[in-house]
Structure 1
Amino acid sequence: MNAVDFSDQLQRLDTTLQGIEAVLDLTELRSQRAALEREAAAPGLWDDQANAQQVTSRLSHVNGEISRLEGLRRQVDDAKVLLELADAEQDAGSLAEVEAEIGALTRAIEALETRTLLSGEYDEREALVAIRAGAGGVDAADFAEMLLRMYLRWAERRGFATEVYDTSYAEEAGLKSATFAVKAPYAYGTLSIESGTHRLVRISPFDNQGRRQTSFAGVEVLPVVEQTDRIEIPETELRIDVFRSSGPGGQSVNTTDSAVRITHLPTGIVVSCQNEKSQLQNRAAAMRVLQARLLERKRAEEQAAMKELRTDAAGSWGDQMRSYVLHPYQMVKDLRTEFETGNPTAVFDGDIDSFIEAGIRWRRQQQLTASAS
């Protein structure tokens, strides 16, 4: 490529970035940052720890958004200056540097562009993620634990705080189920594309004959309930059981009846939490999960009612959505977007951004198709 081609590419990137800056509204973000900084500096902020954590989390997110936008703007402008110098001096080394910078900018701007597609009712919320072992016996339980690690590593890579509410261990290995929160703005909009059935194909490490095994695990992603949602749950609709925690843990595990199981009698929904030290903390966490499930149930019922009012050929976003194949070849493939990679090790280590970005774009296209029909 020559300097003219590079100039055209940089101009396209500049135009795309301008569109992103307009959608995300950099001026409004800076205004939000100023307001949040005032809240964070208030003397009595930590008198209400839940509110304080929300304020500091939101401030961290807004600062990250601003830094990301400002950083990309500087990179685009610097690349243009470097290109002008390289062209004037006919410096091949500098042109190669511009080419590399264009490649990095393209990937970064495409990733940020997907963020502008998160405009759903609850997309700004934090996320609750539930993972359950499906068919496949001990391999499915092991797969569920692999998925838990994958999502926690993904959150860690992004600097997102997480809190594990419940882990139910299987007898031989792995997990029957796990529930955790991702405490970052837009975590729900970002991770909701992961809902569905995940499939693993591999030589089972638990089979003495070394046979290939297919196992399944289900992932459910819910938006965290906020006070404005007003999910009222009468005490008469709840059955609350306490029991001793099980599995690995500290001194309080297996010594007191601190774990809590809540059953919502009208719907039969059951949630549990055992990872906090006190019964009160576990009960509060379980109630948050229950409220999130009831909110999701309400939304699903509203969506079902809307589908009855119009013909909608679009399929469900759930069901079987991704295959992780470790034998006879190495591949992870999303069955909806057709996006795939030949590096399952990186995927299980939390490198799933490309899958998420492709999924968000696919979902947006599905929404546009459905609204046009």
Structure 2
Amino acid sequence: MNPDVQADLKELDGTLSNIETVADVENLRTEIDELSEQAGRPDLWDDVEAAQKITSRLAHAQGDLRRLEELRRRLDDLPVLYELAEEESDDSAIADADRDRGKLRSEIESLEVRTLLSGEFDPREALVTIRAGAGGVDAADFAEMLMRMYLRWAERHGYGTDVYDTSYAEEAGIKSATFQVHAPYAYGTLSVEQGTHRLVRISPFDNQGRRQTSFAGVEVVPVVETTDHVEIDEKDLRVDVYRSSGPGGQGVNTTDSAVRLTHIPTGIVVSCQNERSQLQNKASAMVVLSAKLLARRKQEERELMDSLKDSSDSSWGNQMRNYVLHPYQQVKDLRTGLENQNPSGVLDGDIDDLIEAGIRWRKQTETESTGA
């Protein structure tokens, strides 16, 4: 076998082995078995939300495993294909093997990007918000173009999406929109898209056909994994009972039936005296306390999400990517320097190369900043 081909195959084998180690293939198989068992339970759909999470995670895990196993099989087959082609001096077969090797390299390098997503929130699903910036109606139209780009990207990969809110502009396009991408590592993947995007084109809304520059901001935050159930440890509660009070002469004030609950860790205090018995009042107070604790937790989560937002979003001078449709055709990422000469394809969701370059750039930047 050609020494250069042999060296390339060895390098690909090392890269794929590293991916398999990071993905923990054996653990992935175990997870699939456990999820399959859960998905087969007769009462699975009694809890629709939990069932959707189980079936979605199972589908993604099975897809990840199939992809790894397919890449490994194809890589293991390549040396045999080269040997057979060389034994028969079949130039056509060697050319076919070279093409397969090139395609395999591209797919392995693409999958390798997943191993670079090691942030605390990277495995989460993503909430994406797009806002029109400077540029009037063109900016609103551009914001809608970006929204379509990301939804098409998700569709290409088989990821589910839910559009939660869309604020339409008066003439065309949108003022803002928020949608969720349902896929493992959606946040880690799309977070590199956060920032200011700039479009240059001949405005379809200008009667004189002048060139227009417009801006839109993309914000990406991880979906917080919570449930509506709040665990309250009895040891964290101080329970006080007292005589209910009310308008004079009413019977509610004849027994110590009112209950005041103090949640010691948070200092939240709730009281209930509407029920006739102490047990009923305590049960009602626990419902109120649970609701207050849940509201507090969600507020903390919102504050956490705010802390993860890019502080440079509102600064339209800090563009991270340019989309030029006139006088030439080009998409250029200003962080990585990557250029794509097919903006129509990019705006139709073909953005994997831009995302992968962004992830590699971010990892390199983090490594350089920490000196690792």
Q: CA RMSD in A?
A: 2.5
Q: Structure 2: 5+ residue runs without aligned partners?
A: 231-295
Give 1:6 shift: 1.9
Looking at structure 1, the residues matched to 327 and 2 of structure 2 have their Cα atoms a distance apart, in angstroms, of 46
**Percentage of identical aligned residues:** 62
Asked if structure 1 preserves the Cα contact closer than 8 Å seen for 2:129 and 2:177, the reply is yes
Distance in 2, Cα, partners of 1:78 & 1:123: 34
Cα drift, residue 19 of structure 1: 1.1
Distance between the aligned counterparts of 2:200 and 2:110, measured in 1?
A: 29
Please give the secondary structure, in 1, of the residue aligned with 2:116. coil
Instruction: For residues 81-130 of structure 1, give each alpha carbon's deviation from its aligned partner in whole angstroms, at most 9, with x where no partner exists.
Output: 10110111111011000110011011000000000000100000000000
Matches within 5 A, 1:89-168: 89-168=88-167
> For 1:1-373, what aligned pairs fall within 5 Å after superposition?
3-227=2-226, 293-299=302-308, 319-372=318-371
TM-score (norm 2): 0.77
Distance of 2:172 and 2:338 partners within structure 1: 31
Runs of 4 or more off by more than 4 Å in structure 1? 228-231, 287-293
Kindly provide the CA deviation profile for residues 301-336 of structure 1, in whole angstroms up to 9, marking residues without a partner as x.
xx99xxxxxxxxxxx9x9420000001110000000
Q: Which has the larger radius of gyration?
A: 2
Work out the number of aligned pairs and report it: 303
How much has 1:202 moved relative to structure 2?
Answer: 0.3
Q: Partners of 1:45 and 1:230 in 2: how far apart? A: 19
| TM-score under structure 1 length normalisation | 0.77
Amino acid paired to 2:191: S
The alpha-carbon deviation at position 7 of structure 1 amounts to: 2.2
**C-alpha contact 2:321 2:332 (8 A) present in aligned 1:** yes
Alpha carbons of structure 1 residues 157 and 19: separation in structure 2 relative to 1, 3 Å? same
Corresponding letter in the other structure for 2:180:
A
User: Separation in 1 of the partners of 2:171 and 2:120?
Assistant: 41
* CA apart distance, 1:15: 1.4
Aligned counterparts of 1:63 and 1:229: Cα–Cα separation in 2: 29
Q: Residues 221 and 308 of structure 2 are in contact (CA less than 8 Å); yes or no, is this contact kept in structure 1?
A: no
Take 1:15 and 1:348, find their aligned partners in 2: how far apart are those partners? 35
Contact 1:223 1:292 in 2 (8 A): no
Query: How many Å separate the matches in 2 of 1:230 and 1:357?
Result: 38
| Kept after mapping to 2: 8 A contact 1:123/1:186 | yes
Q: Which moved more, 1:123-132 or 1:38-47?
A: 38-47
**CA, structure 1 residues 288+145, in 2 after alignment: closer, same or farther (shift >3 Å)?**
farther
Q: Could you say what secondary structure the match of 1:116 adopts?
A: helix
For 2:9 and 2:352, how far apart are their aligned partners in 1? 24
Q: Which amino acid aligns with 1:294?
A: E
Provide Cα deviations, 1:170-190, integer angstroms capped at 9, x if missing partner: 000000000000011100000
8 Å CA contact retained: 1:225, 1:295: no
Q: Distance in 1 between matches of 2:206 and 2:78?
A: 55
* Larger mean Cα displacement after TM superposition, 106-115 or 80-89: 80-89
Contact 2:134–2:214 (8 Å) recurs in 1: yes
Q: CA separation of 1:39/1:162 partners in 2, compared to 1, >3 Å: closer, same or farther? A: same
Could you report, residue by residue, the CA deviation over 1:221-278 in whole angstroms, capped at 9, with x for unpaired residues?
01001128999xxxxxxxxxxxxxxxxxxxxxxxxxxxxxxxxxxxxxxxxxxxxxxx
User: What is the rounded CA distance, in whole Å, between the counterparts of 1:291 and 1:356 in structure 2?
Assistant: 30
Alpha carbons of 1:291 and 1:68: their partners in 2 closer, same or farther (altered >3 Å)? farther
Distance apart, 1:295 and its partner CA:
2.4
